[in-house]
Structure 1
Amino acid sequence: MTTLNRTIDHTLLAPEATQADIDRIIREAKEHHFRSVMLNPYWVAYAHQQLADTDVNTDTVIGFPLGANTTAIKVAETKQAIHDGVDEIDVVMNIGEFKSGHFATVTSDLKAVIQTAHNHDKLAKVIIETALLSDAEITQASELVVDAGAEFVKTSTGFSTRGASVHDVTLMKQAVGDRIQVKASGGVHTKAEAEAMLAAGATRLGTSSGIAVVSE
């Protein structure tokens, strides 16, 4: 069974994050053997260098936090991140187009990014921003992510009205079954919250509170 620390993407996406903040996140991830550090694209090359010869991945976000970039920009971001040494990418779905019912457009957008990642053996997660979706939309978006070929469907950016909930994760897991995995992100601050997300069906957690979670 995977230990709790290996489910955690140790996250720092705040725009005001300084070099010292990034160094702290990297140091903590090494010390606690977290699955990855999740940083903005600017820091990927630096983090990759600092994490060489460790068991910690370097992950980043694409089309973040709104999902409203053009496909070409999302693909270019992905290519740059791959060049810089990224291991996994978390791309934001075009939420407005999804809510407009333009599902083919959304799927095409995601497939372009996911295929770019897969061409270089990188793993892809899709953020559907559950805070902005109804229960029915969460289910439908999760199905769409399966069709787009990602390895994970992810709840949240952490920059909307709320983060993940156990209810969200339950719906997503019911939708995807064992076809892909579920990542709960945002709102995970304690060990109890982390364990509740995992019990609901998540296999990965995105949190900036990783130290608190594993230290309890």
Structure 2
Amino acid sequence: MKTENLTKQSLAKYFDHTFLKAYATNADLEKLCTEAKTIGAAMVAINTEWTKFCKEQLQGTDVHVGAAIGFPLGQCGLDTKLFECKWAIEQGADEIDYVINISKAKMHDWDFIRHEMEEFKKICTEGQVLLKVIFENCYLTKDEIRQLALIAKEVKPDFIKTSTGFGTGGATVEDVKIMVEAVDGEVQVKAAGGIRDWKTCKEMIEAGATRIGTSSSLNILKEFEGE
């Protein structure tokens, strides 16, 4: 997508304004929600524990609450992840970002990956919430990224996502392009991890990302305004 026609308000709607640190406090999450409301972000991305708290903070706004499931390793077992997903929805989550079982992807157990994605899709469809699937691309080959995206094209979550931001690397333009090409318009792509300035954000949007996960939303908007 071209970025020439973006305004501060339309750019802010790309942002999943993020605070996923283990040491989060009430004050941290209250600040996150206040910032998200002020800029008009799409969502706050938080650990599941904080779902109800953030839902209360954002009541009466159109800013979504997004719970990170199986975060950041995706290694707690499918039943555990599905339970966490259901609980997050009960607590008020509007969107779910879950981490795939990366080990299964590395072993090319694509049947498991598809089953996992389908199970999340069922729960999120029933709960009427958006579903994002986190790949964690830094641990994957380009062919593995493409294969995961092709599975998503069939299952049709709302988004596929590059990274947790807690791996050895974050979003890259190359990976976003691979994902966008593979899903061929059937699924949206979220870029996350290491996006801290307008230049990088702009590159991700122009590569086809329609959501940006970042803890640097305010800085990006400030740089955007200064162009």
Tell me the TM-score normalized by structure 2. Answer: 0.92
**Which string of whole-angstrom CA distances, capped at 9 and with x for unpartnered residues, describes residues 85-126 of structure 1?**
000000111110111111111111121112101101111000
Corresponding position of 2:144 = 137
Corresponding position of 2:192 = 185
Corresponding position of 1:36 = 43
Corresponding position of 1:81 = 88
Contact 1:63–1:91 (CA under 8 A) maintained in structure 2: yes
Matched, 1:95 2:102: yes
SS at match of 1:54: coil
**Which string of whole-angstrom CA distances, capped at 9 and with x for unpartnered residues, describes residues 27-52 of structure 1?**
10011010010000000001001101
Matched, 1:158 2:165: yes
Corresponding position of 2:62 = 55
Quick one: which of 79, 103, 109 aligns to 2:116?
A: 109
Overall identity of the aligned pairs, in %: 38
Shift of 1:155: 0.1
Taking the aligned partners of 2:89 and 2:198, their CA distance within structure 1 comes to: 32
Taking the aligned partners of 2:54 and 2:15, their CA distance within structure 1 comes to: 16
Shift of 1:149: 2.6
For 1:169, give the aligned amino acid: V
Q: Could you list the runs of 5+ residues in structure 1 that have no partner in the other structure?
A: none
Contact 2:156–2:186 (CA under 8 A) maintained in structure 1: no
**Count of paired positions:** 216
Matched, 1:173 2:172: no
Shift of 1:18: 1.6
Taking the aligned partners of 2:174 and 2:43, their CA distance within structure 1 comes to: 25
Shift of 1:148: 2.7
Query: Structure 2 matches for 1:112-131, cutoff 5 A?
Result: 112-131=119-138
For 2:136, give the aligned amino acid: E
Corresponding position of 2:202 = 195
For 1:62, give the aligned amino acid: I
Taking the aligned partners of 2:60 and 2:176, their CA distance within structure 1 comes to: 33
SS at match of 2:127: coil
Shift of 1:147: 2.4
Contact 1:108–1:148 (CA under 8 A) maintained in structure 2: no
Taking the aligned partners of 1:121 and 1:8, their CA distance within structure 2 comes to: 21
